[in-house]
Amino acid sequence: MCRPCECERKYQLIVITIMRYRRIPDETIRRLPIYLRGLLYLAQQGRESISSRSLADFLAVNSWQIRKDFSYFGEFGTRGVGYKIEKLTRQIKGILKLDVVHRAALVGVGNLGSAVLAYPGFGIYGFDIAAAFDNDPGKIGSKVKNVTVEDVSKLRTLRKRKIDLAIIAVPREVAQQTADELVKGGIKGILNFSPCYITVPGKVKVITIDIAMDLARLPYYMPVGSKAK
Amino acid sequence: MCRPCECERKYQLIVITIMRYRRIPDETIRRLPIYLRGLLYLAQQGRESISSRSLADFLAVNSWQIRKDFSYFGEFGTRGVGYKIEKLTRQIKGILKLDVVHRAALVGVGNLGSAVLAYPGFGIYGFDIAAAFDNDPGKIGSKVKNVTVEDVSKLRTLRKRKIDLAIIAVPREVAQQTADELVKGGIKGILNFSPCYITVPGKVKVITIDIAMDLARLPYYMPVGSKAK
DNA sequence: CTATGTGAATTTATTCACAGCA
DNA sequence: TGCTGTGAATAAATTCACATAG
């Protein structure tokens, strides 16, 4: 039976609607860090409050999008006035669970890995890259940005060191194997820079960034006649 | 007048439908490089043809999604058989305008910039990072991966060197200014690694990657109780 | 009998218009 | 009056079911 009768369909629809009543759109979650980044910057500039319109202009998005996104979580602003930047920042951090410091491990201290270690942008979101691993004996023991590179065999110590996030910056051939070991080590979230799909147990979240792939869709959007001949 | 009468609404709907009849979803364009990456890998493994189902399993996506995406551009496969990998690869490259070599410039040879220069993944999509720029006199003139670092004042030479793409890996304070100069130099597409919004003329496409921001939405998806205390 | 290609149904996300509160 | 918060309308994307071609 492929087409259930009308009443059955409507019943199912109602059930699903109730179940998902307060479901947060993934796109909203994707945008929250954008808002947070802007708010942190504005706070740094000494700004104390802002309207959705001004924030929208600043971030080059729509004001109703911002209000709608916030509305999924409650009422954060004051009608007729706007938002207190400090309070709003705290709320968003709470939603994203960024209100505690997250200790992260980096695996693969090559070109990209070293750049990640040196990248100054993680701190504002409360991340602390607390460990680095590699399989190259020449790198093990060396210090990069106050972090001593350890042998990958030490990955099983992550759990007791309260490290629950990992960044994979190894060659694609060993990405899956690295992920497996991270999961064994108790890691619950992975930021993967290897250009491949990674299989993990359902409870672990993986976000993959493939910088070449992002570049690959640029030419499509570029006006014709402007491509190199 | 905010609510047009019924007939007017329907008329407008028809006009919009016709205008957008063959509009390609942005999400489809975003996925094409994923398919391309997988196909290039399979070709390398000696595979010659594949069904949407097998490709879907390999890439961890849905088979109907793949078929739907391709259908926007025409008929690429053979019913009852599947797709010829070599032909399909050529088609996708054509759509994404990756069938010609694109020469790209890198601006900012710091940690991240150097990693980008050394990154081996751009070649498969037909990108050639043909120039690198920095404002640090200590770096200018040095060679990184066969590319000589030039002074940022030389950005205006990009047009005559047939470079139409750029990668920005400079501190956020100078990102906008860098973008302005790139646009003056004739650049039509920018991959921006600075954690900020960049304003460019409408004809220029910008894609921004903020690696810290991607990490920032991981904790939200991680199971409760697993965050560092 | 197999696997593609696609209109239609469904789901998800965006945009709108305005009620409601300061 | 000004700006938030939100149900409703619209748009976009995904998923489905199957007609169709090899």
Minimal C-alpha gap between A42 and chain B (Å): 12
**Alpha carbon A207 to chain centroid, angstroms:** 7
DSSP for residue A208? E
Q: What is the pLDDT of residues B156-189, one digit of tens each?
A: 999 999 999 999 999 999 999 999 999 999 999 9
Q: What DSSP character marks residue B158? A: T
Q: What are A124's two structure tokens?
A: 């504002």
C-alpha B166: how far from chain center: 12
- pLDDT tens profile A28-50: 999 999 999 999 999 999 999 99
Tell me the longest C-alpha to C-alpha distance in chain B.
69
Across the interface, of A103, A122, A199, the residue whose CB is closest to B215 is: A122
Query: DSSP characters for B25-77?
Result: PHHHHHHHHHHHHHHHHHHHTT--EE-HHHHHHHHTS-HHHHHHHHHTT---S
**What residue has token string 């369909």?**
A9
Tokens of B211: 């690696």
Are B36 and A216 inside 8 Å of each other by CB?
yes
pLDDT tens digits along B191-200: 999 999 999 9
Q: Which residues of chain B does A115 touch, with a Cβ-Cβ cutoff of 8 Å? A: 111-112, 114-115
Q: What is the pTM of this model?
A: 0.90
Residue in A195, A215, A208 with CA at minimum distance from that of residue B37:
A195
Name the closest residue (CA) to the C1' of nucleotide C10: A13
Note the pLDDT tens digit of each residue in B104-146: 999 999 999 999 999 999 999 999 999 999 999 999 999 998 9
Amino acid at A197: Y
Which of A96, A212, A223 comes nearest B219 by C-beta?
A96
Nucleotide nearest to B73 (CA to C1'): C5
Say what the pLDDT of residue B228 is: 41
B chain contacts of residue A111, beta-carbon cutoff 8 Å: 114-115, 118-119
Nearest to A108 by CA among B115, B108, B171, B228: B115
More confident residue, A21 or A97: A97
- E strands within chain B? 49-50, 83-84, 102-107, 127-134, 143-144, 147-151, 165-168, 189-192, 205-208
Whether A191 contacts B215, CB under 8 Å: yes
The three-class DSSP label of residue B129 is strand
Band (B23; pLDDT cuts 50, 70, 90) = confident
Subunit contact B119:A212, Cβ cutoff 8 A = yes
Residues 6+ away with beta carbon under 8 Å from B30: A217
Q: Which two tokens stand for residue A22?
A: 């307060």
Distance of CA B95 to the CA centre of its chain: 13
Q: What percent of chain B lies above the pLDDT cut of 90? A: 86
Residues 181-220 (B) with a CB less than 8 A from some CB of A: 188-191, 195, 197, 199, 203, 205, 207, 209-220
Chain A nearest CA to B176, separation (Å): 14
Can you give the distance from the CA of residue B77 to the C1' of nucleotide C11 in angstroms? 28
Q: Judge whether A102 is closer than 8 Å to chain B, CB to CB.
A: yes
Contact between residue B190 and residue B139 where contact means Cβ atoms under 8 Å apart = no
C-alpha span between B75 and B88 (Å, rounded): 10
Residue A11 has pLDDT above 80, yes or no: no
Over 80: is that where the pLDDT of B10 sits? Answer: no
> Residue B74 and residue B5: Cα distance in Å, rounded?
38
pLDDT band at A18 (very low <50, low <70, confident <90, very high): low
CA distance B24 to B8: 26
* CB of B133 closer than 8 Å to CB of B105: yes
